Amino acid sequence: MNRIEKAAVNNPARRALQRFYEVPALLDMAGGPLAPGSRAVEIGCGSGYGTRMILDRFRAASVDAIDLDATMVGKARRRLEDRRGRVRLAVGDATDLKAAFGAEDGTYDAAFDFAIIHHIPDWRAAVAEIARVLKPGGVFVFDEVTAHALARPSYRKLFVHPTRDRFSAQEFLAELPHYGLTVRGAFTKIREDYLLGAAVKQASDGG
């Protein structure tokens, strides 16, 4: 994520949209706040704004939050200082949560992706890793940027993203069942530039 995109996602207007529109919609599709005692993981935590909403709005008991950018993890640590006992932060790769947190299969009750997977070159590996660490019945909450948006001249000029194998909204949703994730609800906005939704991890055949 370059400097321009960091400024864009951290500006007050973007935060207001996330807080007053996106999070209520995601809460509804996720089936409401998490059950008491729920553990959550967030990929690409940035400065920790989303992490705080996972704690306050989704009511997770604890959150493991990861980001590749050590500077942003430092900002998140300062933002979440008052939640120190409920948050673990790590610099690391969203496709390897075991390395970051020792996360075994079925560790978390919920996983959150606030517009990070489209940054990951092997985005399917990130989806697979999220599915791996979710418990059966766990919820995957996502707010993503699609290939439709990334192809816009403004996006290509201002922001830096992988250019190969990006997903449409339909392609992202179609990929989830391959990893045992059943879509509970989803919708697009701004002519399919953005995809919001929630999916539930199904029990394996032997589970």
CB atoms within 10 A of CB 95: 18
At 33-60, the pLDDT tens digits run 999 999 999 999 999 999 999 999 999 9
d(CA 202, CA 158): 39
Query: 44, 47, 27: which is closest to 141 by C-alpha?
Result: 27
pLDDT of residue 108: 98
CB 65 within 8 A of CB 76: yes
* pLDDT (0 to 100) of residue 1: 65
Contact 42, 51 (CB under 8 A): yes
Going residue by residue through the chain (207 aa), what tens digit of pLDDT does each one get? 666 666 666 678 778 888 889 999 999 999 999 999 999 999 999 999 999 999 999 999 999 999 999 999 999 999 999 999 999 999 999 999 999 999 999 999 999 999 999 999 999 999 999 999 999 999 999 999 999 999 988 887 877 788 899 999 999 999 999 999 999 999 999 889 999 999 999 998 654
What's the whole-model pTM score?
A: 0.92
Q: Where are the alpha helices (DSSP H) in 84-198?
A: 97-101, 123-133, 147-150, 153-158, 169-175
Which pLDDT score, from 0 to 100, does residue 8 have? 61
Determine contact, residues 142/115, Cβ cutoff 8 Å: no
For the chain, which residues make up each domain, given as ranges?
3-201
Q: Is there a contact between 97 and 28 (Cβ–Cβ < 8 Å)?
A: no
CA-to-CA separations, 137 to 4, 7, 81, 189, 204, in angstroms, rounded = 38, 36, 31, 27, 11
Confidence (pLDDT) at 207: 46
The whole-number pLDDT of residue 2 equals 60
User: What homologous superfamily is domain 3-201 in, according to CATH?
Assistant: Vaccinia Virus protein VP39 (3.40.50.150)
pLDDT of residue 147: 95
